[in-house]
């Protein structure tokens, strides 16, 4: 009988509980035991490791739609890759992780994480050399290479869209513009997708340079005097500091454009999981379990051309824009961004949305 471990790491998002429940159900039908590791890598730093063994009552099907992670994603200030690197304990930390995984006698570990977690798994792959490592990509940022979809993204777009839909009503009532700052880190996918969904007047993303004076002219010449300007958190404005939405708002105010800022913040990472994300979670869970059956390891589940298949973690890491992690010395992360030939850019332009200096 195989013994399978499940762990969620990094930031939370909707869809985590769905994929956990689908993994447990699929593993049970195969006659396997399922162990949940609590608090991500934090749970592997205790003696004994913090785990629970799943049964039919652990995570009921009706709760699988809920946001967050039933297994938790870690505690602030706990020893992890970042804090271990800061305190010079990275080697000790890695040894502890490997010892805990050995003590758990796992045949396979399914790690559900974002691009940072997956990059860490690949760069520290010796930790998992005694078992099969299968990764499932989840992130609201959609910044993971080699997959067209990530668990949690669709729900985040819906959450952001619903937030802006309500703002649009008060914007119309007061002839006012709202500058809404989105999450997404250095990737503009979340802002771009939600912006098209709501019919934003402008979408500012890190991948496209923009001229604030051109933005102001676009708003002044717009056929209505209210709307939404979506600003991705990763943009910058030369000569200015502070939160991106505040920087843009100050420029609009100076141009005598009535506006307010709004910050949906972590509401983008919650909300009942959309049907699309639930289906994606089921597909990726099935793909991960089939990978275990096929004796695969160091792989990631991925959607490409509507098919759900595994790709090697080596290919995932090499396919992205490999950049230095600002928090962990010597760590590099594989990042994906909005491509210059993304068809959504043409769609936004055809809708009259200001994007910046599109080439």
From first to last of its 359 residues, what are the pLDDT tens digits of the chain? Answer: 999 999 999 999 999 999 999 999 999 999 999 999 999 999 999 999 999 999 999 999 999 999 999 999 988 877 788 888 888 888 899 999 999 999 999 999 999 999 999 999 999 999 999 999 999 999 999 999 999 999 999 999 999 999 999 999 999 999 999 999 999 999 999 999 999 999 999 999 999 999 999 999 999 999 999 999 999 999 998 888 899 999 999 999 999 999 999 999 999 999 999 999 999 999 999 999 999 999 999 999 999 999 999 999 999 999 999 998 877 777 899 999 999 999 999 999 999 999 998 86
Half-sphere exposure of 191 (CA within 13 A, CB side): 34
Q: 261 forms bridges with which residues in the sheet?
A: 179
Radius of gyration of the chain (CA): 22
Is residue 222 included in any domain, yes or no?
yes
Count of domains for the chain: 2
Please tell me the predicted confidence (pLDDT) of residue 325: 81
For 286-312, give the DSSP string.
Answer: HHHHHHHHTT--SEEEEEETTEEEEEE
Same domain, 231 and 304: no
For 238-269, give the DSSP string.
Answer: TT--S-HHHHHHHHHHHTT--EEEE--GGGGG
Same domain, 139 and 281: yes
CATH code of residue 73: 3.40.50.450
Is residue 290 included in any domain, yes or no?
yes
CA dihedral 94, 24, 141, 243 (to 10 degrees): -70
Same domain, 14 and 70: yes
Please tell me the predicted confidence (pLDDT) of residue 238: 87
Same domain, 221 and 304: no
Q: Is 165 a catalytic residue?
A: no
CATH code of residue 236: 3.40.50.460
Please tell me the predicted confidence (pLDDT) of residue 77: 75
Same domain, 9 and 148: yes
How many beta carbons lie within 10 A of that of residue 77, not counting itself?
8
Is residue 251 included in any domain, yes or no?
yes
Same domain, 133 and 65: yes
Smallest Cα–Cα separation from 225: which of 193, 181, 256, 194? 256
Please tell me the predicted confidence (pLDDT) of residue 14: 98
What is d(CA 270, CA 282) in angstroms, rounded to the nearest whole number? 19
Report the sign of the C-alpha dihedral through residues 290, 294, 298, 299, in that order: negative
Which residue among the candidates 12, 39, 42, 141 is catalytic per the annotation?
A: 141
What is d(CA 207, CA 209) in angstroms, rounded to the nearest whole number? 7
CA dihedral 90, 113, 163, 242 (to 10 degrees): 30
**Whole-prediction pTM value?**
0.97
Same domain, 178 and 265: yes
Same domain, 289 and 141: yes
- CA 318 to chain centroid: 19
Same domain, 17 and 86: yes
- CA 22 to chain centroid: 20
Please tell me the predicted confidence (pLDDT) of residue 359: 67
What is d(CA 148, CA 170) in angstroms, rounded to the nearest whole number? 35
Is residue 358 included in any domain, yes or no?
no
C-alpha angle 204-208-210 in degrees, rounded to nearest 5: 65
Is residue 359 included in any domain, yes or no?
no
Contact 308, 150 (CB under 8 A): no
Is residue 329 included in any domain, yes or no?
no
Report the sign of the C-alpha dihedral through residues 351, 352, 358, 359, in that order: positive
How many beta carbons lie within 10 A of that of residue 76, not counting itself?
5
Is residue 325 included in any domain, yes or no?
no
- The boundaries of the domain holding residue 12 are 3-152+273-319
SS3 category, 338: coil
Same domain, 73 and 200: no
Same domain, 259 and 280: no
Contact 146, 300 (CB under 8 A): yes
Same domain, 87 and 40: yes
Is residue 188 included in any domain, yes or no?
yes
What is d(CA 215, CA 219) in angstroms, rounded to the nearest whole number? 6
């Amino acid at each position: 009988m195989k013994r399978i471990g499940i762990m969620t790491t990094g930031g939370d998002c909707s869809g985590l509980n769905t994929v956990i429940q689908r993994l447990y159900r699929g593993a049970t039908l195969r006659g396997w035991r399922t162990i949940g590791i609590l608090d991500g890598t934090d749970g592997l730093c205790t003696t004994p490791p913090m785990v629970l063994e799943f049964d039919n009552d652990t995570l009921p099907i009706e709760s699988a739609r809920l946001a967050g992670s039933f297994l938790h994603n870690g505690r602030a200030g706990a020893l992890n890759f970042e804090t271990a690197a800061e305190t010079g304990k990275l080697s000790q930390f890695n040894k502890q992780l490997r010892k805990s995984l050995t003590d758990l006698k796992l045949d396979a570990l399914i790690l559900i994480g974002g691009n940072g977690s997956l990059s860490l798994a690949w760069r520290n792959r010796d930790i998992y050399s005694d078992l099969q490592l299968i990764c499932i990509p989840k992130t609201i940022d959609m910044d993971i290479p080699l997959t067209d979809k990530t668990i949690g993204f669709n729900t985040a777009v819906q959450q952001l869209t619903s937030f802006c839909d309500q703002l649009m009503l008060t914007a119309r009532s007061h002839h006012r513009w709202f500058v809404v700052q989105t999450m997404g880190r250095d990737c503009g996918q979340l802002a771009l997708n939600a912006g098209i969904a709501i019919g934003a007047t402008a979408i500012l993303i890190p991948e496209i340079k923009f001229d604030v004076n051109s933005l102001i002219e676009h708003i002044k010449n717009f056929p209505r005097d209210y709307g939404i300007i979506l600003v991705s958190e990763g943009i910058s404005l030369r000569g200015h500091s502070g939160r991106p939405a505040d920087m843009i708002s100050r420029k609009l105010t100076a141009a005598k454009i009535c506006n307010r800022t709004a910050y949906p913040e972590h509401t983008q990472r919650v909300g009942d999981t959309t049907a699309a994300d639930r289906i994606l979670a089921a597909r990726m869970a099935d793909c991960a379990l089939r990978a275990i059956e096929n004796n695969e390891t160091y792989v990631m589940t991925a959607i490409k051309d509507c098919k759900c298949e595994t790709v090697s973690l080596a290919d995932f890491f090499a396919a992205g824009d490999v950049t230095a992690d600002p928090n962990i010395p010597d760590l590099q992360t594989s990042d994906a961004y909005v491509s210059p030939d993304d068809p959504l850019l043409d769609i936004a332009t055809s809708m009259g949305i200001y994007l910046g200096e599109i080439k």
